[in-house]
């Protein structure tokens, strides 16, 4: 699957979950309004938020390590490029 197709599938599933939750709330308004269920919802939302923050942190760390590896490769290539160019052109004898 392409990245756009995956993004679209994630968006559709999130939108469907929102619609389902809204319809569920309308059906079960009395059960949701008790204080025990409110505390349970607060606790579960805290867990979801913590897990989302953890996943985003890992994603950023992975992207940074990939970026650092690519930057290191580019720096190595650009540092060795002038030397290989001098060798290929045979200009090392010009120093004498």
pLDDT of the residue at 77: 73
d(CA 13, CA 21): 12
Length of the chain: 96
Query: Residue ranges of the domains in the chain?
Result: 1-33, 34-91
What global pTM score does this model have? 0.50
16 vs 78 pLDDT, higher one: 16
Mean pLDDT of 68-93: 73
pLDDT of the residue at 47: 94
60, pLDDT greater than 90: yes
């Amino acid at each position: 699957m392409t990245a756009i197709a995956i993004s679209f599938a994630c968006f559709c599933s999130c939108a469907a979950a929102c619609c389902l939750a809204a319809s569920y709330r309308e059906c079960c308004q009395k059960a949701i309004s008790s204080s025990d269920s409110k505390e349970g919802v607060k606790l579960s939302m805290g867990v979801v938020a913590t897990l989302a923050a953890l996943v985003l942190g890992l994603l950023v760390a992975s992207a940074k390590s990939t970026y650092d590896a690519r930057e290191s490769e580019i720096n190595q290539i650009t540092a060795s490029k002038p030397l290989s160019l001098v060798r290929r052109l045979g200009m090392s004898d010009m120093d004498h």
